[in-house]
Amino acid sequence: MIKDDYQSLPGNVQVKRAMEIAATGGHSIAIIDCDNLDAEYHAAFNLIGSNHKALKVVRCCPCGNFTHPKRRCTCTPNEVGRWQKQKGYRAALEADIVVTAQPVKHTDVMLTHLNMPGAIVHKRVIFTRLRQHKSITPNAAELFQTAAKHLNFNAKEQMQVLSITNTIMNMDHDERVRNYHIAEAINLRRGNVYKIVQDNIKLGGAQ
CATH code of the domain covering residue 174: 1.10.8
Domain that holds residue 42: 13-128
Split into its structural domains, the chain has a count of 2
Residue 156 lies in a domain: yes
Cβ neighbour number for residue 65 with a 10 Å cutoff: 18
Based on the domain organization, do 79 and 42 belong to the same domain? yes
Based on the domain organization, do 110 and 142 belong to the same domain? no
Residue 141 lies in a domain: yes
At 129, the pLDDT band (50, 70, 90 cuts) reads low
The DSSP output letter for 203 is S
80, 112, 128: which is the final residue of a domain? 128
The DSSP output letter for 6 is T
128, 160, 186: which is the final residue of a domain? 128
191-200: per-residue pLDDT in tens?
Answer: 655 454 445 5
Handedness of CA 184, 42, 45, 105 (dihedral sign): negative
75, 97, 128: which is the final residue of a domain? 128
Based on the domain organization, do 115 and 150 belong to the same domain? no
Residues 10-29 have a mean pLDDT of 90
104-120: per-residue pLDDT in tens?
Answer: 887 777 778 778 898 88
SS3 labels along 11-22: CCHHHHHHHHHH
Residue 165 lies in a domain: yes
Q: Give the orientation angle of helix 155-171 with respect to helix 118-129, to 10 degrees.
A: 110
How many C-alpha atoms does 146 have within 13 Å on its Cβ side? Answer: 14
Q: What is the full DSSP assignment across 68-118?
A: -SSSPP---HHHHHHHHTSHHHHHHTTSSEEEEPPPPPHHHHHTGGGSPPH
pLDDT of 94 reads: 92
CB 120 within 8 A of CB 6: no
Q: Which range, 24-28, 47-51, 134-138, has the best average confidence (pLDDT)?
A: 24-28
Based on the domain organization, do 53 and 115 belong to the same domain? yes
Based on the domain organization, do 138 and 52 belong to the same domain? no
pLDDT of 30 reads: 96
Residues 54-83 have a mean pLDDT of 91
